[in-house]
Chain A
């Protein structure tokens, strides 16, 4: 492949949306209210829409006959490069919203920078996605506040979720080789520069929600290098089921 760094770079962005979209999609029909159900399905839809744009572009760059679905569904566990945060399970609504919020704050600031990319396709996808992700962030922030500053029970559950997921936040700001190469070409976003503002923004919302910002400095990483938590394999087994059971067919 001629432009392997760009290809890998796109996967690094898109895999996050794929895995988070899949997590949200599995909640459809089981939400705590009809309104939240619709909203989570909608976010899942937005994310899969973004995924399709990214993978279609990646397939074009690969230049062989691979399709968006091959990229989405026919890689092995170690070839997915999403961050660990997005693959964490839907433990309860607090975890679902905390995962969403911790990702959305990053995602929005990332897209705002990606919009400035020299690569016009990536810039256009970022531009379109910003509107969607701004809504995701508003939705998840509102729920952090409602649950954090709601009842004693919800406060505890939300604090547990933030504490539980905190260990996966630092990885958002790690750079892969593809990242570095793309930053050097003016195509990629230097995520290390987003880190400080991220933690400030997160802390501001947590403060407003009467939640404690965790102080732990122990962080998990590996997703970006394809070393995942045990949760991912099961998610992939479902995601890939049809393509594996009925190979080389059109649907």
Chain B
């Protein structure tokens, strides 16, 4: 294809996106579009499956049967999200094995929030309320993103995430209205998860490298700073309602902006965790790589069995 032809295709492609048409797997697309989508969608898929670990950590210790069932269902939903998102990635010509390899080698990233430990039961509330809350703010705009399989996956993911967020908040309500000891658990969890949740919405706009291109492709529709403000404005009243205090002495309502002003985020901590030096980066990778390596003989057996079955069928057919 000549350069001119490619240019022409690119122009048509950008025009389709501008008209809000969906791009489907078999459509022509610029290589950069394909790569950017594989990167973002796989990062999202990895976040779902690594995200199973901090919450899976409390399944055996959930305080009641009702909570245990809800937590199991939630973690199972996350595995399901991982599955659709890996499948959506596969439509762009990359295999799940390759994507796992990128995760295990550290080439691909996942959301840094999951490198923080879940040390008490209240963390199940805080993670649902804050982490899923921030995730929804990030993800709802993606239901209208330009790549069809991603947009459709996100519709379902967002519905379930919104349920998880309410479930997390409900855990917090119960703790906040419980005994002084329970309230203390809730406040402590909020103290530990608040700032990492704000960081989840990404570096400030000035530092964000992918934003402009992603905006054009509707992979991103609002800037990180706008999303963060939206999250804060939405979450502060929820904390107040249940009598918990946001751990930010600089937080105050700005009448003029009709928004909350908030304190300085510790970006050094953010980059430290992103670069692999958070409290649980090593444990999370060890768990994922361990599950994959220990599962190899199982996957090999399944392949060998399927092969034998196919051969037997063929023999019967002859």
Contacts and interface: CB of A to CB of B under 8 A. Distances in A.
Interface in A142-168: 145-147, 149-151, 153-154, 157
B299 A238 contact: no
A44 B72 contact: yes
Interface string B51-65: 011001001111111
B65 A151 contact: no
Contact of B300 (A22, A28, A151, A242): A151
Contacts of A242: 61-63, 121
B59 A25 contact: yes
Contact of B298 (A33, A52, A68): A33
Interface in A16-45: 22, 25-26, 28-38, 41-42, 44-45
Interface string A47-66: 01101100100000000000
B59 A151 contact: no
B69 interface: yes
B186 to A, nearest CB: 12
Contact of A92 (B80, B121, B179, B294): B294
Contact of A26 (B60, B182, B301): B60
B61 A239 contact: yes
Contacts of B181: 246, 249
Contacts of B62: 242
B67 interface: yes
A25 B70 CA distance: 12
Contacts of B49: 29, 34
B294 A45 contact: no
A72 interface: yes
Nearest to A235: B60
B64 to A, nearest CB: 5
A28 B65 contact: no
A74 to B, nearest CB: 11
B55 to A, nearest CB: 8
B73 A154 contact: no
A235 B65 CA distance: 15
B295 interface: yes
A116 to B, nearest CB: 27
B297 A34 contact: no
B253 interface: no
A243 interface: yes
A69 interface: yes
Contact of A32 (B294, B304, B305): B294
Contact of A41 (B63, B79, B302): B79
B290 interface: yes
A241 interface: yes
A52 B66 CA distance: 8
B275 interface: no
Residue of A92, A146, A241 with highest tally of chain B CB at under 10 A: A146
B220 to A, nearest CB: 27
Residue of A22, A55, A241 with highest tally of chain B CB at under 10 A: A241
Contact of A29 (B291, B294, B302): B291
B301 A153 contact: yes
Contacts of A218: none
A112 to B, nearest CB: 25
A12 to B, nearest CB: 18
Interface in A234-251: 235, 238-239, 241-243, 246, 249-251
B150 to A, nearest CB: 18
Contacts of B80: 38
Interface in B69-118: 69, 72-73, 75-76, 79-80, 82-83, 86
Contact of A38 (B76, B178, B302): B76
B177 to A, nearest CB: 9
A238 B58 CA distance: 9
A146 B299 CA distance: 10
A243 B294 contact: no
A52 B65 contact: yes
B174 interface: yes
B69 A49 contact: yes
Nearest to B80: A38
A93 interface: yes
Contacts of B53: 29
B29 interface: no
A141 to B, nearest CB: 13
A32 B67 contact: no
A153 B299 CA distance: 12
Interface in A192-251: 235, 238-239, 241-243, 246, 249-251
Interface of B: 49, 52-53, 56, 59-69, 72-73, 75-76, 79-80, 82-83, 86, 121, 171, 174, 178-179, 181-182, 287, 290-291, 294-302, 304-305, 308
26 contacts: A26-B59, A28-B52, A28-B75, A28-B76, A28-B79, A30-B291, A31-B295, A32-B296, A32-B299, A33-B295, A34-B83, A34-B86, A36-B298, A42-B76, A45-B69, A48-B72, A52-B66, A93-B294, A147-B298, A147-B305, A239-B60, A242-B121, A243-B63, A249-B63, A249-B179, A251-B171
Shortest beta-carbon contacts, A-B, top 8: A32-B295, A150-B301, A154-B301, A242-B63, A29-B52, A32-B298, A29-B56, A251-B63
